Every structure is written in C-alpha cells, then in structure tokens.
A and B are shown apart, each in its own frame.
Chain A
Amino acid sequence: MAPSGLKAVVGEKILNGVIKSVKKDGEWKVLIVDHMSMRILSSCCKMSDILAEGVTIVEDINKRREPISSLEAIYLISPVEKSVRALINDFKDAAFTYKAAHIFFTDTCPDGLFAEIGRSRVSKVVKTLKEINVAFLPYEAQVFSLDDPNSLYSFYSSKPNKDKDKIMENLAEQIATLCDTLKEYPAIRYRKGPEDNARLADEVYQRLTAHKADNPSMGEGADKARSQLLIVDRGFDPISPILHELTFQAMAYDLLDIKQDIYSYQTTGIGNSNDREVLLDEDDELWVQLRHMHIADVTKKVTELLRTFCESKRMCTDNANLKDLSQMLKKMPQYQKELSMYSTHLHLAEACMKKFKGSVDKLCEVEQDLAMGANAEGEPLKDAMKSIVPVLLNNEIGAYEKIRIILLYIFHKKKGIGEENLAKLIQHANIQADSNIITNLQNLGCNIIAGGRNAEQTLPERRERTESTYQLSRWAPIIKDVMENAIEDKLDRKQWPFISDPAPINTTQTAVSSARFGHWHKNKSPTEYRSGPRLIIFVIGGVSQSEMRSAYEVTRATDGKWEVLIGSSHILTPTSFLNDLKSLDQVPNPDS
C-alpha cells in the first residue's frame, strides 16, 4: 500500500521534482546526498524507486568518491558550508569528478555560499540549480521531524548558548519549508509563557511571509484560512514523555532497544535460526494498523489475523498430504511475505509483554494513579507517598524507572516539593548519580522545588474524557486537549496568542463553487491537495510517541475534516529524554 500523507507528498516532490525532472532516457546518473538529505530521502523513497528513474548509485558527499566522469551527478544537499565545500571540491581539479552537476538545495542557500559556488569552476558544469524547500523529515504520515537530537540541549541548557539564534533561524526555516511543501499558510500561535515560543513563532512568521511572496498559491483554498500552526514548548507537558505507555509503538520503543526504527530479532525457522532485521515504518501495512493499538488488543488481533489467513489458505501443516503441500507451494511465494510480517509483529508483541510482565506492570499502576491524580475507580489519590515508597526501595527496579516515578510524584504535587523531601526521596531510591535529571527539568520551566524557579507554573486544566480506556492507560497527553480545542476554536486567545491577526473564520462560501466540482480542471494528485484545514503542531524539544498517537486519534475523530500534523526536532523515547535532561547542565561535547 502506498504511503499517504506527509511521506507521499515529500516522496512525490523529490521523485518528480528532483529525480524525474532531470531524467534522460538511456542515461544514468549519480545521486549525491549529505546527511540530512539522505535521511529525508530514505524516509520516503526506496532504492528501486530511484533506480527506476535513472539513478544508479547513491553516494555520500562527505566520503571520498571516485570520479565517474561518464555520468552526470545530481546533488541533493542542504546549503551548509561543509556540503558546498565538498561540492566545489568535486570540480576543483582539472579532471571533473562527474560530467555535469544538477544541484538541488533543500532550502534557501545563503548569499555567501551562493557567491562561492558562482566563483568556482562548478558553475561551468551546472545544468540545474534549484531550491526544493523540503528541509524536514517526513517521519510518518502525520508526523514530521527536523532531525536535530541536540535541540533539547540547545534550547534548555543551563549554560547560555550563543548559537541559539542561529539554531532558531534554522528551525524556523525548516518549519516554513514544511508549510511550503504542504501549500499551507497557517495562522501562527504560540503558548504564552517561555519567551522562546514567541521568538520562534515570530521567526517562522517572517520566513513564511517570504515563502508566500515567492509562492502566492500557498494557503489557497476554501478552508485553508482556518489552518493553524501551534508552537509549544516541551515543558508544557513533561508527563507524557516519561510515562510508560501501553500502546504498541510507544511500548516497543520504550522497552525494547530499537535503533533507527530497525527491530532485530532471532527467528527459529525450520531448522535454522537466523537474525532478522525489520524496518518498522509505513511500508509495513500491519504496523500501520497495529501501532496505536493497546498491547492487549495487538496480540489478540495478530493471532486472529494469522488464523484467518492460515485457514483461508489451508496452510495447517498437521494433516497435510501431498496435495496440500503442493497447493501451499504454489501459493507460497506471496504468502512468504505476509507470513513474515505476522511473525515479526508477533515477536515484537511477545517481547514487549515479556518486559512488561517483568517489572513494568507494577510501575504502570502507580504511574497512572499519579498522573491522573486519582485511582482507577476515580477516587482522588490520598497518600501518594505511600504508593511510591515501595517502588523506590525496590532494588530491582532501574534508576531511570525510579526517576520517572519521582518526577510523576512531583508533578502530582502541583506546587512542587521541598528540597529536603527531594533529597530524602533520592536517597531512598539510591539514585544520586542521576539526580540532576530531576533538577534539570526546571530548565524546561517545570515546577520542581516548591517556591523555587517556575513557582507560578502549573499544569493546565484537563478536559473531561468520557471514552472508556484500559485501567493502565487512562492518561491522555495534554496536547490532545489543545488539539481538540484548537479544532473547535475554543483555544483561549490569551494563553495562545496569534502572531498576526487571524483571518476571519467564517463559514460563508467563496465565489468558487464547491471543492468537489470547482477544481476539476486542476489535476491534483490526491496526496498533495487536501482541501480541509490543517492543524500543525511544533513542540520545541522533542515529541513523544503518545503525542504522535493523539494526532492520529484526533484526526480520526473529526472524520477527516481536519488533519493534525505534529512534529518536533526529534522523536523522544523516555530513555532518550532522560539522557538528554541529564546532559543539560554539562558542557557540550566539542565533537558533536
């Protein structure tokens, strides 16, 4: 099934706009990428797609490459100094590395670098030079990432960071290219509180207006005037990234070691056992179906699907005679792929449950009570300390788990806790080495020490939720409330101010007739042209898996009228979040 949403839009833009546009029959080309563009490319295109369009090899610009002077090169790079230098180097000597160059920058090239390119010998062999305005990673159909895992440090470190302005400009530019790619010109709002929100919102607005000047069709459409871009900081909801979630994707990334979306496990096939690596992304239809489901449902569903599959194809090997075997063989090749998908997900679910039954199930109960402030029956929590002390004293539970419990306890006590209490808790839990994680959270604007910094910060009021949930999954991320309010236009203007005067939100019809019939002559591909309004949310400092899930849930609840996109500089797992927090007060590593 072809991916839809962001991946499809970006994939189509790159395949059509970059690779197909310079395709010539009978001629192959070399595609050269740098780190950022490689990530963008590999998240939405496959080798066979680009091979079909005449690219025969993909190279990294920063590695030594041997000259292939018979082929032309497509450079898909970000306009940073390192990449541009490497580009110029390719054509510096007498023998050019490639026959010609087609250069595509992911966003605007600064004038200095542009002049350098103009001065160098590259300019003689340049046949194309375009800025494609795609500087973000389409992580999922409704999730984008800006691929900057250090952003938590850049924004919230204790030491003043002089590069912060530059980083903010880059971020703003990347967000602007997102809006450009989606052809949206949203109204920008930010959460009133930390001044970074307002500054970033301002920068984005400037760049967005610049893009609109080049591209006046942005934001055109009957409903597009209602689109909004919300800028939120991580400190707004510090609970969601540290809570143990029990939906498939969040649980897998939290409990298992999944790097770069690749899940490796061992299969015990017929006879041999081998290591298998599977990429968990949207090409795997089963993953798309299962990723937001609760783990209990997942195991049930996969076994049910597998059973119907086997029955319908009569694959039970128990009483198979020759005829059945030959039948199976005839249909085997297609079934191989489906069977392997089922097997992967069963393994994944099993591994999650194993880890869960180990120690996490006890933690989940305590965590949910603390996060909701009430136990499963709805009674408010009377003595939180009593429930967390046995966890803290338990030596089998890891340090990070204990820290998560302590943090949830602190957030439960809305005004923070006293310093001595905190010291006592840390001592009980025996986590002195990691205790700075807790104090560093204050950099995000959270209220940790009673009467200390951020004394006025409180977590916002929550909406009433009436849908039935599992006992251990009662928590809904705060951002979900914000999304629903924004869609219903109930978001408080004082807490969420607009950068510019918002377009009047009216429901009168415009002169053009209905969206269905009025645009028949425009050949719009279904992936690109969405006629409904979009709500784009950018979280400074990282977005958690549960928040990503909320975006899909809210979109579904509106029956497709609104599309909610959420993203950040990187995707958080609880472990990575705590690791980042730990390093907030340290001097940056000079190599990174």
Chain B
Amino acid sequence: MKRRQRLISVEIRTQQFIQRSLLSHLYQCVLKEERQPDRGNLLDIGNLDLFSRPTMRDRLSNLQEVSNSHVEQMEYAESTVSDTFSNIDLEMELPHEAVVFEDNSPALEDVFSQSQDIHREIQLIRVEIKRLREQNSRMMGVTTMSTIKRDSNAIGADIKARAEGVLARLRDMDGEAHKLEEEYGSNCAVTRIARTQYACLSNGFRDTMFDYNEAEMSHRENCKAQIQRQMEIVGREVTGEEVEEMIEKGQWNIFNDNIMAEGKTARSALSQIEKRHQELVDLETRINGIHEIFLDIALLVEEQGPMLNTIQTNVQKTDEGIQEALVKLNRAKRHDKNNPFKKMFCSCFPCVD
C-alpha cells in the first residue's frame, strides 16, 4: 500500500517536470565533440563558401576609417567636454553614476566556473551513455557475454555515480543562485545569469538522463525480443506479455519443462535464454537505480514551464523601475531648490550648490 502511495506521489512529482525537451540541443552537444574534428577536411570548402558569400555586410573597416578621421580632434575635446556635460546629463539622461552598481565580478567568475564544471560532467556522462549503447548492441550479437555484461554493469554504475555527482552540484548551484538573489536582488545581472545557467544545465542533464533511460529501455526490449525468438527455436511460443510476467515473477520454470528435451541445440538455446534472463535482471536493477535519480531530478526541477526557454519572456521579465524613481527624485530636487525659503537664505548666504 505504502509502495503504491509512494509511486503515486512520485507520479505527481514526475508530472511536475513538464518542460520542453530539446533533442536538437542534445544532439548538438553530443555530436559537437565529434563534429569539430570533421570540420577540418571535407566540409571546410563548403563552409568557407557559405560564409565568404557576402550574405552579411562587414563594415568594420568603414567604421575604423570614420573613427580614425575623428580621433585626433575628439580625444582632447572629449575629455574637457565630458566634465561640463555631466551636470546636464543628470537632467536629461540617466547616467550610471546615479546608482552605484556593486562590483560583482568574483561572483560571476564563481557562477561561470561552476557551470563549466557541471557542463563538463554532463558531457562525460553522455560519452558514457554512448559507450553503453555500443556495448549493448554488441551484446545482442555475441554469445559470450560475461565480459561484455560486466562492462555494461560497470558503465551503468559509473553513469549512476556521475549523475549523482552532477545532481549534487546542481543543487549547490541552485543554493548559490538563491543566495545571490538575496544578496543582489532578483533582477541583477549576476542573478539572472546564474538562474539561466542553472535552468539550461538542468535541462541538459534531464535530457541526458532521458537518453540513458531510453538506451536501457530499448536494450530491454531487444532482449525480450531475443528471448522470444530463442523460445520459438526451442519450440515454445510465448507472447510478449508472458515474457514480461516471467521477468516480473522470476519464474523460469517454463524452461525446466524442456530440460528433458532433445539434443544439444535445445540445451544451448536454453542456456542463452538463461543468460539473457540474468542480463535482464541486472538491467532491472540498473533501471531501479536510475529511478532513484529521477525522483531526485523531479524534486530538483521546479515547475518552470516551457516559457523559461523563450527568449522573449526572458528579456521581458527584467524590470526597470529605477528610471521613474530618478525622474521623480530630480523633480523633487528642483522643487526643493525653488523653495522660496531656501532662495532667501541663498541670497543672503551664497552657498555652493
């Protein structure tokens, strides 16, 4: 009962990560590793062609001409002019001096190095998943499976360990982002950078885990199909449902029925089936491992929704309230200056203003 409750609550929680998954992003990242060396030879000609065709006009040289012709006169004039303009600027535009922005570059560096690390870990996990896929596909064809199987298990365990590491780091990053938010405010650039990085990394991680799940699931299906085929060879037809049941219940006594049967072929087929069965059982334990991680991911990824990925909503979320405040402040300043009492005092006692 408890287990069912837990499963249902997990259902609820897993329902909470409804985000757009970006397979293209996944492929980009996975294949980026391999694509870059390839770019060197064959495709280079084509690519150069694409970019050297002036679909965009480069006007940097024009700009430099224009700027060079002004540089001599401007450099001296600018320095004197800027001082006198600074007062007027206060009235017309809103310069940066009015509000002091704290120097948050060390925080920024932290954020970047964190996200870089996590990104690298996720890449490594992806490489491992690829290896696992290769192992699995090899296993389908070859009969001597013990070494390959051991490797698969090892890879699976490795992936799980790494994934847990990444999850812990993501959680740290989340904590850091919250701290930054409290320290600098929710619309500060650093906070937004941290949040965006975190969102994209957790998206990427989730896609990677999906991929791993997919790899294991498809292998499971393949094994099942193989078992079915083998059983047909042995002479017994089973449907997919029955195989599932056998896996669940761990009952393999069906095999035992035929143990008295004819010939070596039957026995070797039988042993293969048993190996596959063992293989499946291992798979199941690995999958159980993933699910613990998935539970954690579900908790990790809040209800962000697909809108987070849209640039428009991202940009529009930032607010700008300060401009209004400054305009009002200036007005107040002016009114204050115009205060008649002050004027009287000012005429009696000329003060520096």
Contacts and interface: CB of A to CB of B under 8 A. Distances in A.
Contact of A334 (B8, B69, B213, B303): B213
B137 interface: no
B291 A329 contact: yes
B248 to A, nearest CB: 5
Contacts of A131: 56-57, 59
B46 A278 contact: no
Contacts of B69: 118
B84 interface: no
Given A336-B15, A524-B46, A126 B56 contact: no
Contacts of A68: 105, 108, 189
Max chain A C-beta neighbours (<10 A), residue from B24, B310, B316: B310
Contacts, number: 230
- By CB atoms of chain A within 10 A, which of B49, B101, B196, B315 has the most? B315
Interface string B285-308: 001000100100000000101111
Contacts of B193: 56-57
Nearest to A63: B320
B284 to A, nearest CB: 9
Contact of A181 (B55, B206, B310, B315): B55
Looking at chain B's contact residues, the main secondary structure is helix
B54 A215 contact: yes
Interface stretch (B89-97, B257-265, B334-342): B89-97
A337 B305 CA distance: 11
Contact of B56 (A17, A270, A325): A17
Contact of B311 (A2, A58, A69, A329): A58
B213 A523 contact: no
A302 to B, nearest CB: 18
B217 interface: yes
Contact of B10 (A48, A63, A329): A329
Contacts of A16: 51
Interface string A117-159: 1110101101111111100000000000000000000000000
Contacts of A525: 50
Interface stretch (A35-43, A195-203, A428-436, A463-471): A35-43
A115 interface: yes
Contacts of B21: 337
Interface in A305-326: 322-323, 325-326
A323 B244 contact: yes
Given A38-B311, A42-B311, A332-B11, A522 B305 contact: no
Interface of B: 3-4, 7-8, 10-12, 14-15, 17-22, 24-25, 28-29, 43, 45-47, 49-51, 53-60, 62-67, 69-70, 74, 78, 82, 93-97, 99, 101, 105, 108-109, 112, 116, 188-189, 192-193, 196-197, 199-200, 203-204, 206, 209-210, 213-214, 217, 244-245, 248, 287, 291, 294, 303, 305-316, 318, 320, 322-323
28 contacts: A17-B51, A42-B313, A56-B193, A58-B315, A63-B320, A64-B322, A66-B188, A68-B189, A70-B108, A70-B109, A71-B108, A89-B93, A93-B96, A108-B57, A114-B63, A115-B66, A119-B66, A129-B63, A130-B60, A133-B55, A274-B303, A279-B310, A331-B217, A333-B206, A334-B213, A337-B18, A521-B45, A528-B50
Given A26-B116, A130-B60, A330-B291, 12 more contacts: A13-B55, A46-B309, A58-B315, A66-B189, A68-B105, A129-B62, A132-B55, A181-B55, A277-B305, A329-B7, A331-B217, A524-B46
Ordered nearest first, which 5 A-B pairs have the shortest CB separation?
A523-B46, A118-B66, A123-B67, A42-B311, A42-B312
